[in-house]
Chain A
Amino acid sequence: MARNREEIKPPVDYATVAGALAKSVYEGDIVNFRLLFAPFSPARQLSTELFDMPKYQYLLPDDGVVSEPRYREALDKVNQPEMRAFIQGELEANRPPQLPADLLLMLADNAVRMGKYTSAAQAYESLRIRSRMQQMFLDHANSALDRGDVPAGVRGYIISNGLAYDYAAFPEPLPAIPDFQTRALLLHADYPETPEACIAMADTGPLVQAALEYLLSPDVAGALSERPESLRLEFLAELVRQQDPHWTSFLGRYEEASTLADQFGTRLRATAGSMSLADEIQRELGEDPGRIPATLLGHTIEGGEWWQYLKELAYEHPAAALFVARQAVGDLEIIVPRHRPGSPIARALGIGAGAGVAEAG
């Protein structure tokens, strides 16, 4: 059978293989990198698969990729005579392939640059340097914080934390918080019996601590606990913006939702949690109190419960979960915007910079 297949299949062009390998290295994509060495890979002469097949087009570099310096760098490496001989040998051998460590290291670094931490973690793990790389990123991050370079410090903490993920490698960047679906809900596990009883209304110190634990991890938050509060605050604001490039667009929706919530703000402060409040809110908002969470999220979830809105909101804008609260409205429960008046955290993040609505307390 193998002989027949070999006769039918045109010779695999190394330039095509090199391009596909260089693309996977450039994109930090360990899944595609492994696939190219797999027994069924179109890069193997003995496989029936062909690069010409439409299903493998995604493996090949397009015009946008070939002009990238990091792609060229990877391609040069793949085309080095020694590397080329090794790759061809592995693709011809009838046994599990050995992946070239040099390319894997380039791939891991590129994955870090693109925020594909599961891919980077797996590549570093194969090289047996994951924990040392994690520590190195953390050490450099701490040095950056020591000299007041908060953006570099935050970047280092995000990377070090990302390399701790044990999830299977995924070719795309993960959500900023991989298990947001449980962690955001844990912030709101108990219904706030008073407006002050929610995470958004916590004092600055505890809120910064909770935010760092939620956005990074308890370990990381612990490592930062010795730092001055002003630095922790600056760190948190930078962290939110680095994790969520679209934070500013969320702020617009937050203001809009706050305006809706402000329509019954006075009553909300006075009688939170009571049935009469629920009636009043319903009267204010007509038959659709779900407008508030839908405005926060930017779209409606059909029949969406408060926790569904919270999960999706945390996926889109992780830090948003820190500035909302649960609110009963008749039989329905929704999430509403809430933050502490004059809070330095809210100020640093641009929360409530507009009308100052949805401030409770």
Chain B
Amino acid sequence: MLPSEKRSLVRFLAIYLLSTLLLFALASWIFYTASKHDIIARQKESLAYEADRIVSQIRALHRSTADTLFYPQSSIVKSAIYDLDGNYIFGTLPQEQTLKNSRKNLMIYYTTAIEPYYLGAAYLLVAAPVQTAPIATLKTYTWWFMAAAAAVFSVLGYVLGRLFTAPMRNSIETMNRFIQDTTHELNTPISTILTNIEMIETFGKHHENSAELQRIAIASETLSRIYDDLTYLNLNHRYHRHILPLDISKLVQERLIYFEAMIHAKGLNVTTHIASHVILEMDKNDAIRLIDNLISNAIKYNRPQGVLRIVLHKEYFSVSDTGSGIAKKDIHTVMQRFKRIENREGGFGIGLDIVLQVVHHYNFDFSIQSQEYHGTEVSIRWQK
């Protein structure tokens, strides 16, 4: 899966799942609350039945002529009778229990009026512990329902996401195929042009048209480099790397010579601080792609007669230019493949993508700092 497709899919799934699950959570919560009330209402119904039973026993007690009146007791519920002013008369509930504070958790209460006032009781309060087992079962079912809904909607979201990103995936694949074909077709003519320029230079036939020839040489080298970049991308790391100790100092010097004609054509002032014997364990082609792309970008996006500053240190490598810089809003997207901040300069927008691939492969640290209209500095720190 392409990184951009993956990103879009993740974003879509995040929004889709979040909104769907939120809706389901709300529905589940309403269902849970309603069902819980229903369970408690059923428990209250049994309390009402017990209350009726106790009232009829109280009625019998009132009529009794016995010296001792035994208050009706139940193993299921506790109860108490209260007079017309709400004062506790008697019962199995504690005396501190009033009619008004019967709202405690884990207990359900039922109050019924008694008319006429048998034993002087105007109210009967009946209480029983809430039966938590059915509520716990309901809670478990609700969670399972939520989990099942999350699973179903995740699969559905993934399928939908893949369907939605299919056009984007097709476009990118078409572009990649086009680049692959173009690269293949470019190889022979570029090699021919470069070989012939070298032959003209070797046999000294270039005196009369040296400026034109140099321009052809620069253009051909640019084409050659684009070809190398595209080949690198097409291979997509599937080639065998020769990881060897590589003298980066020497390589940077060599690549500067390679870019000499382009630098000269743009009239750039080059400042270099290249530490000697900076040795890194890496593949030479990776190192060339990294250095070339950074220098090439700095030349391409520099202003004419600008400054190109290259610093190589044991810990980092940085390339800075005095070009138009990058707007703050674009700084995070500039590394994406096919992303081009400026359209007036040529290219495919793959340079920094290649740089990032190399950086990630070797676990380097990449940083970019830019000030619009002043310039850009790109740094690679060898050790994170």
User: A and B, one complex?
Assistant: no
Residues of A near any B CB (own CB < 8 A): none
Residues of B near any A CB (own CB < 8 A): none
